[in-house]
Structure 1
Amino acid sequence: MKQDKRPAGAAVKKRRFFNRISRKLMLFVVLMSMVLLALVWLLSVKLLEPMYNRRVLADLNHAADVYSAIIEKYGKFESFDKSGGVHIPSDMMEEIMDNRGLLAGKCFEVAGTDCKVLLHLHQLQSDQCLLHPNPLSQLMEYSEPQWNSTAAVNLRATTFVLGDLNFTLPDSRILPGLESTSGTRQMVVCRNINNQYSLILSTDLERVGQAADVISAQMPIIAAVLLIVSIAGAYVFSRWFTKPISAISRAAREMARGNYKVRVTPQADDELGALAGDFNTMAREVGRTSELQRDLIANVSHDLRTPLTLIKGYAETVRDLTGDNKEKRDEQLSVIVDETDRLSGLVNSVMELSKYSSGTEKLNPVQFDLAQLCDEVAYRYQNICEQSGYTLTVDAAGPCTVTADPDMMSRVVHNLLANAIHHIGPDGCVALRVKSQPDAAVRVEIEDHGAGIAREDLPYIFDKYYRSRADAGKVGTGLGLSITKAILINHGFPFGVDSEPGKGSIFWFVAH
């Protein structure tokens, strides 16, 4: 049983070790360093020589192409004078010399069908050429290379038989028996020019393999140093990177304990800084929501307590005292009915807000004249305004066609008009305006000349159960503007309020 438990415990410890972002970052940086080191080793050791050889071969092929084109251009290469020497036409020679820069560091020859050299140029960086050996070069004395050596003649014959070739000397498959006593290696390119001439270009191959061996021997030291540096750098980087995250985590735990005043100082103007800013915004909103919840409990408790107390008191009075007095009984029962209606209105408002906010009430958008709808809703308030001595001015010249749910928009206009009348100013004037916008939208404004809204209350005026200081103690559920907000958000319509204390408020929304 003990042997079964130990691996499980080790696995748990391993998982716990990697439960921190800092350790994951360290592991990631170390692994990336190892991958980069492997890539450097692959490119510097394993691929260095092949890539170098390909580059040398491309250079030789380019030079061979240029000189083959020159020889093909002039057709006949050599003409013999009376002494038996080779005479090269001046135009051909001039063009060959113009491209002499291509032969730097190379050995160049052209031979005829008899495999005898016609034109040659030796510019190898080393004195020794495997194809054209210089037997006295070891004595530090110069002598002409053997241009018609056995190896060179055999290679020319092979070129006439096999065609174009490229290989690296010494190569026993191409030239059997050819060896290099000095360790020199040469890249060779052969061209068969119309079965009339053979062109052979060669160049020394630097000892890239030895350089690769040196680099390979240094790799363990480089790997150890890089691993130490990467671990140290990863540790410092992970601590620096996770510091803001740890601060946000601590602040989140503080907020979970009920401290909604906790804030995080952004460390930089990046994603983590933005996260810290978003956390602070969330903390403010959660704190405000908590405060609104307390206000909700206080407001609902107050709104429910008053009608319930009245209902209970009058019901007991009817039962104990005025049950036989019809006039007083009817009067008290009327109070009970009114308070019951008030309770029903509060419950209905809460349910209506929940319905609109949760999205359970589906929109039924149709095209209709919003100006006509506003005029119809305003007509319902005309009698109330006349009885109270108020003036309701309507400026709704249609048609103002929009696409929306007419029942919900009627509820919005009704709530805003009721709110304006509830906060009507000393002049007793309320205005409803419907204006067509240039972008085919329709702007609706409801204006009152009441006490206005303080600047600090404006951002929260549409929140549920929120009441500004000016509304403290007034009768009402505080849900009308919240229902309006939920409906307009569901429609995607902009809305807001412009207000100045002492000059009234303008509530508006834009439909389209």
Structure 2
Amino acid sequence: MRHHHSPGIRGQLMWFLCCICLFLLALVWFLSTQLLEPLYTKHIEKQLTTQAESITAELDKAIANGEALSAWSFGHLTVNTAFFDRLATQLYASGSLNSFCVDISDTTMRTIYKIENQSYCNLHETLLSDSANNDMIVSTAVAMRKKCRTTGGFVQTLNPPRLSGSAQLLVGRNTSGGEYTVLVTTSLVHVAEAGKVLSTVLPMAAALIFAFAMTAAWLFSEWFTKPLRQLSSAARQMAMGNYAVQVDTRRSDELGDLARDFNHMASEVQHSSQMQRDLLANVSHDLRTPLTLIKGYAETVRDITGDDKAHRDEQMNIIVDETDRLTALVSSVMELSKVTSGADKCERVHFDMGQLCDEVSERYDAICAQNGWQLQLELPDEELPVYADPNMMQRALHNLLGNAMHHIGKDGIFILRAQRCTEGVRVEVEDHGPGISADDLPYIFDRYYRSRSDAGKQGTGLGLSITKAIFQQHGFRFGVQSAIGMGTTFWFIMNDLPANAAEMAGQE
């Protein structure tokens, strides 16, 4: 059942991108309308300060060289025009006077030299037809000169004396000896105009940007969530039993890794499902044969040979053998189910693996003597301490030794070997039988798998699968080495310290 109480990944992604877009637009609006003027003013202040200080430096240099810059005689001002013209030329050449005005005054608070490079200046503009404004401009200029001489240097915004003007930023500096005062000013009309333009353009730009961002977000979310939708569809197909489903793995990012992992999982599930079907088919077949024999011989005993003791005993022995075969098969299936499901828990303890191998090998003395076989036990003189479940290790050894007896070679020898190695203790079970082909090796531990050379042999076909499950539950490395005509060696490596339960062993 699908739930619709929350938006999907695509809706969440769209909502997230929408919020990011709105936040960025709000940030641009704030920076453009609220911070534009102070940042612009700060920049202009830095330029004015640099110009004022460069002019005062030139004046100090001329004074130090003994140059006469200005003088008053009987109320008449005499100015060193050559110096100031040279200074103005230098400032123009450096590009420092773009839209700036300069006012240089002496100790009498009167202007001795000025440079006007803007259409209107709040310190110099005079209109004969507007005496009130003229008086205000003159008084403002005198006040700024006095303030500069008093403070030694300042920065101030001058409001226009008439409506047709604009606010201006003024920076004042004095020469080092206080002989001259330098005022540099410029208009702030540009920042006001820029603010108006931005206020007009921003809404339209924001709408276009938002529309473009949402379109891009919709296309991006479609591209981004497409692999997820494919995975979701494939998962539903798997839930309906289609384990052969595969998804596109052409992406090289995390979604591509997820798709590849999904395909691997689907392949493993398909393989496990096939093995389960094979297990059921094989178990059903093996159950059917002894049950048919038991029923047939039981009916024969009942109807025909009930009074013939010799025939009756022979047929009853067949029934007993087939019953034992059924019991072994059912026991193996139940044991495999317990081990693989985790119902049969590992009870790990420290023990000597060499002693366990010795005890297990003794149980094969009778069957070896009966068949003329020889089980060679190869153990070192020292102890082989390990950390494992001894009962499970005993079962694993019996399964491997039983498998070796079923494939024993013409020499009748099979070997149980244990020795120390860098990882702990390595245990091997070796036979000199026909060996296993390279095609069969990857599947030798699968449930109910039998190689073509095993066809017709007795056994449940589950011993190696149970052994594999035991090793995996312990986290031991294990494997098999074999070749046609060269015999087979099954091996596993045990640790003498607690193993990490999350580490799964793999075949080498």
Partner of 2:417: 433
Which amino acid counterpart does residue 339 of structure 2 have in structure 1?
A: Y
Alignment of 1:216-235 (within 5 A): 216-235=199-218
CA contact (8 A) 2:350 2:385 kept: yes
Structure 1 position 352 matched with structure 2 position 344: no
- In the superposition, relative to structure 1, how do residues 479 and 54 fare at CA in structure 2: closer, same or farther (>3 Å)? farther
Q: Aligned partners of 1:60, 1:167: CA distance in 2, in Å? A: 11
Mapped pair 1:267 → 2:254? no
Q: In 2 relative to 1, CA 374–285 (structure 1 residues): closer, same or farther, beyond 3 Å?
A: same
Secondary structure of the 1:264 match is: coil
Distance 1:121 1:349, change over 3 A: farther
**2:277 aligned to 267, 271, 294, which one?**
294
Distance 1:50 1:452, change over 3 A: farther
The one-letter code of the counterpart of 2:143 is: N
TM-score, normalised relative to structure 2: 0.72
CA distance in 2, matches of 1:477, 1:66: 102
1:406-461 residue CA offsets vs partner (Å, 9 max, x unmatched): 22222222222222222233443323333322x34222222333343344433332
Does the Cα contact within 8 Å between 2:353 and 2:384 map onto a contact in 1? yes
Instruction: Kindly indicate whether residue 43 of structure 2 is the aligned counterpart of residue 43 of structure 1.
Output: no
2:151 is aligned with 1:179: no
**CA–CA separation in structure 2 for the residues paired with 1:363 and 1:118:** 103
Q: 1:295 to 1:158 in 2, by over 3 A?
A: same
In 2: Cα distance, 1:413 partner to 1:23 partner: 58
Gaps in structure 1 of 5+ consecutive residues: 1-13, 87-96, 138-145, 171-177
Structure 1 position 307 matched with structure 2 position 299: no
Aligned residue type for 1:417: L
Whole-Å separation in 1 of the counterparts to 2:349 and 2:112: 95
Say yes or no: does 1:403 pair with 2:387.
yes
Helix, strand or coil: the match of 1:207?
helix
CA contact (8 A) 1:244 1:267 kept: no
The alpha carbon displacement at 1:83 in A equals 6.5
SS at match of 1:506: strand
Aligned pairs, how many?
A: 466
Distance of 1:296 and 1:331 partners within structure 2: 32
Question: Which amino acid in structure 1 is aligned with residue 460 of structure 2?
Answer: T
Q: 2:466 aligns with which of 461, 483, 495?
A: 483
Q: Secondary structure at the match of 1:432?
A: strand
Q: Please, which of 421, 424, 429 is the counterpart of residue 405 of structure 2?
A: 421
1:251/1:263 contact within 8 Å kept? yes
Match of 2:118 among 126, 151, 158: 126
CA gap 1:226/1:332 in 2 versus in 1, 3 angstroms: same
Q: Is the 8 A contact 1:46 1:212 kept in 2?
A: no
- Aligned in 2, Cα 1:224/1:245: closer, same or farther, shift over 3 Å? same
Match of 2:488 in 1: 505
State the one-letter code of the partner of 1:506. T
Deviations 1:84-116 (CA, angstroms, capped at 9, x unpaired): 899xxxxxxxxxx9xxx998777788999x895
**Hey, what does 1:154 align to over in structure 2?**
143
Provide structure 2 residue ranges, at least 5 long, that are not aligned to the other structure.
73-77, 80-89, 129-134, 496-508
Whether the 8 Å contact between 1:115 and 1:156 is mirrored in structure 2 is: no
Describe the shift of the 1:326–1:29 C-alpha distance in structure 2 as closer, same or farther (beyond 3 A).
same
How many percent of aligned residue pairs carry the same amino acid? Answer: 48
Q: Measure, in 2, the Cα distance between the counterparts of 1:363 and 1:65.
A: 87
Amino acid at match of 2:416: L
Report what 1:92 is aligned to.
none
**CA shift for structure 1 position 477:** 2.1
TM-score, normalising length from structure 1? Answer: 0.71
Deviation at 1:493, TM superposition (A): 1.5
**Greater mean alpha carbon deviation, residues 293-302 or residues 262-271:** 262-271
Partner of 2:261: 278
Q: Secondary structure at the match of 1:282?
A: helix
Aligned CA distance change for structure 1 residues 301 and 53 (closer, same or farther; 3 Å): same
